[in-house]
Structure 1
Amino acid sequence: MASSSSLPAFTVRRGEPVLVAPAAPTPREVKALSDLDDAEGMRFYSSGIHLYRNNPAMAGKDPAKVIREALARALVPYYPIAGRLREEEGKKLVVDCNAHGVMFAEADADLTADDFGDVQSPPFPCFEQFILESTTIAGVEPVIDRPLFYAQVTRLKCGGFIFGQRFCHCIGDALGHMQFEKAVCEIACGADAPSLAPSWGRPDMFMARQPPRPSFPHLEYREPAGGADRMLSTPASDMARVPFFFGPREIAGLRQRAPPDMRCSRFELVAACIWRSRTAALGYAPDEEVRLSFIVNARGRPEIPLPKGYYRNAMAYSVAATTAGELCGGDLGYALELVKKAKSAVTYEYLQSVADLMVLTGRPLFALSRTYIISDISHAGFKEIDFGWGQAVYGGPAKGGEGPLLGVTNYFSRAKNSKGEEGTVVPICLPKDAMDKFQLEVQGLTVV
Structure 2
Amino acid sequence: MDVTITNSVLVQPAHDTPSEAIWLSNVDLIFSKFYVRTTYIYGSIEEPDICVWQRLREALPKVLVYFYPLAGRLINDSSREFAIDCNSEGVLFVEAVTDSDIEDLRDFSSISQLSSLAPTMDYTQSITSLPLLLLQVTKFKCGGVALGVTISHMVADGMSSLHFVNTWCDMAHGLDMMVPPYVDRTLLQARNPPQPFFPHPLCLPFPKLLHKEGQEEGNFPISFKRFRLSKEQLNCLKEKAKDDSSKEAFTSFIALTAHIWKCVCISGNLLKQQETKLYIPMNGRERIRPVLPCGYFGNAIFHASPIDMSENIVSQPISYIATKIAEEVNKIDDHYIRSQIDYLELNPNLKIEVSRQGKLYPSMVINNWAHLPIYATNFGWGKPLFMGLTLNAPEGYCCIKPNSENDGSLIIEITLRSDRMDRFGKLLYEF
Q: Hey, what does 1:207 align to over in structure 2?
A: 189
The letter of the residue matching 2:415 is C
- CA distance in 1: counterparts of 2:282 and 2:49, whole angstroms: 43
SS of the equivalent of 1:36 reads: helix
Please give the secondary structure, in 2, of the residue aligned with 1:392. Answer: coil
Confirm or deny: 8 A CA contact 2:182 2:297 kept in the other structure: yes
- Counterpart of 1:136 (choices 96, 111, 123) is 123
For residue 26 of structure 1, what is the aligned residue in structure 2?
17
Counterpart CA distance in 1 for 2:99 and 2:361 is 42
Q: Which residue of 2 aligns with 1:80?
A: 69
Instruction: Please report how far the alpha carbon of residue 439 of structure 1 lies from its aligned counterpart in structure 2 after TM superposition.
Output: 3.5
Matched, 1:50 2:40: yes
CA 60–164 in structure 1, closer or farther in 2 if over 3 Å, else same: closer
Residue 177 of structure 2 is aligned to residue 194 of structure 1? yes
Distance 1:123 1:239 in 2: 12
Deviation of residue 156 (structure 1)?
1.8
- Counterpart of 1:5 in structure 2 is none
| 2:331 maps to 1:345 | yes
Distance 1:160 1:109, change over 3 A: same
Q: What is the identity, as a one-letter code, of the residue corresponding to 1:211?
A: P
Whole-Å separation in 2 of the counterparts to 1:412 and 1:305 = 25
1:325-364 pair list within 5 angstroms: 325-364=311-350
CA distance in structure 2 between the partners assigned to 1:229 and 1:133 by the alignment: 36
For residue 68 of structure 1, give the secondary structure of its aligned residue in structure 2.
helix
Alpha-carbon distance change, 209 to 43 in structure 1, aligned in 2, over 3 angstroms: farther
Q: Which amino acid aligns with 2:272?
A: P
* Residue in structure 2 matching 1:281, options 251, 254, 267: 267
State the Cα distance separating 1:24 from its structure 2 match.
0.7
How far does residue 225 in structure 1 lie from its aligned partner after superposition? 5.2
The CA deviation string for residues 212-268 of structure 1, in whole angstroms up to 9 with x for no partner, is 2221111121125555589x9765x52333322221342233234222511111100
Question: Aligned equivalents of 1:307 and 1:123: distance in 2?
Answer: 38
Structure 2 residue 399 is the aligned partner of structure 1 residue 411: yes
Give the AA of the match of 1:81.
Answer: L
C-alpha distance in 2 between matches for 1:38 and 1:107: 33
The answer on 1:37 being equivalent to 2:28 is: yes
**Aligned match of 2:8:** 17
- CA distance, structure 2, for counterparts of residue 369 and residue 115 of structure 1: 31
Contact 1:173–1:315 (CA<8 Å) still a contact in 2? yes
Q: 2:138 aligns with which of 147, 154, 175?
A: 154
AA matched with 1:275: W
User: What amino acid sits opposite 2:89 in the alignment?
Assistant: H
On the 8 A contact 1:79/1:99 being kept in 2, the answer is yes
Over the matched positions of the two proteins, sequence identity in percent amounts to: 24
Counterpart selection for 2:113 from 122, 126, 130:
126
Q: Secondary structure at the match of 2:258?
A: helix
Q: What amino acid is aligned across from residue 236 of structure 2 in structure 1?
A: G
Moved over 4 A (4+): 58-61, 122-125, 224-230, 232-235
Q: Cα deviation per residue 1:388-440 (whole Å; 9 max; x = unaligned)?
A: 222111122223xx1xx4222221111269xx954111123322332343244
Check whether the contact 2:210–2:271 (CA below 8 A) recurs between aligned residues: no
Alpha-carbon offset, residue 55 of structure 1: 3.2
What are the residue-to-residue correspondences of 1:96-115 with 2, within 5 Å?
96-115=85-104
| 1:68–1:104 contact (8 Å) kept in structure 2 | yes
2: CA distance between counterparts of 1:42 and 1:92? Answer: 9
The verdict on how the C-alpha distance between 1:233 and 1:208 changes in structure 2, with shifts beyond 3 A counting, is: farther
Opposite residue 190 of structure 2, the aligned amino acid is: A
User: Over aligned residues, Cα RMSD in angstroms?
Assistant: 2.5
Contact 1:90 1:362 in 2 (8 A): no
Alpha-carbon separation, structure 2, partners of 1:178 and 1:226: 35
Question: Which residue is 2:306 aligned to?
Answer: 320
Distance apart, 1:329 and its partner CA: 1.8
The CA distance in 1 between the partners of 2:192 and 2:218, in whole Å, is 43
Distance 1:256 1:196, change over 3 A: closer
Measured after TM superposition, the shift of residue 43 of structure 1 is 3.4
Distance, in Å, in 1 between the alignment partners of 2:426 and 2:378 is 39
SS in structure 1 of the partner of residue 413 of structure 2: strand
Listed as ranges, the gaps of 5+ residues in structure 2 are none
Deviation at 1:59, TM superposition (A): 5.8
Deviates more, 1:432-441 or 1:93-102: 432-441
Which amino acid is the alignment partner of residue 140 of structure 2? L
Residue type of the alignment partner of 1:168: S
Q: Residue type matched to 2:36 in 1? A: S
Deviations 1:30-49 (A, max 9, x none): 1101111111x353111111
**How many aligned positions are there?**
419
Q: 1:142 to 1:284 in 2, by over 3 A?
A: farther
CA offset digits 1:311-368 (Å, max 9, x no partner): 2111211100111112212111111011101111111222222211222222423364
Shift of 1:194: 1.6
Q: Would you say 1:169 and 2:153 are equivalent positions?
A: yes
Give deviations 1:163-191, integer Å, cap 9, x for gaps: 11101111111111010011111111112
Separation (CA, whole Å) in 2 of partners of 1:256 and 1:233: 37
- Structure 1's unaligned 5+ residue stretches are 1-9
Q: Is contact 2:386-2:404 (8 Å) kept?
A: no
Separation in 2 of the partners of 1:183 and 1:49? Answer: 17
Q: Which residue of 2 aligns with 1:238?
A: 221
Identify the residue that residue 371 of structure 1 maps to in structure 2: 363
Alignment of 1:93 onto 2:79: no
Residue 289 of structure 2 aligns to a residue in which SS?
coil
For 1:392 and 1:216, the matched residues in 2 are separated by 41
C-alpha distance in structure 1 between counterparts of 2:277 and 2:126, whole Å: 29
Query: Taking structure 1 as reference, are residues 227 and 153 closer, same or farther at Cα in structure 2, changes over 3 Å only?
Result: closer
Measured after TM superposition, the shift of residue 208 of structure 1 is 1.4
Instruction: State how far apart, in whole Å, the 1-side matches of 2:102 and 2:429 are.
Output: 33
Among candidates 184, 205, 228, match of residue 223 of structure 1: 205
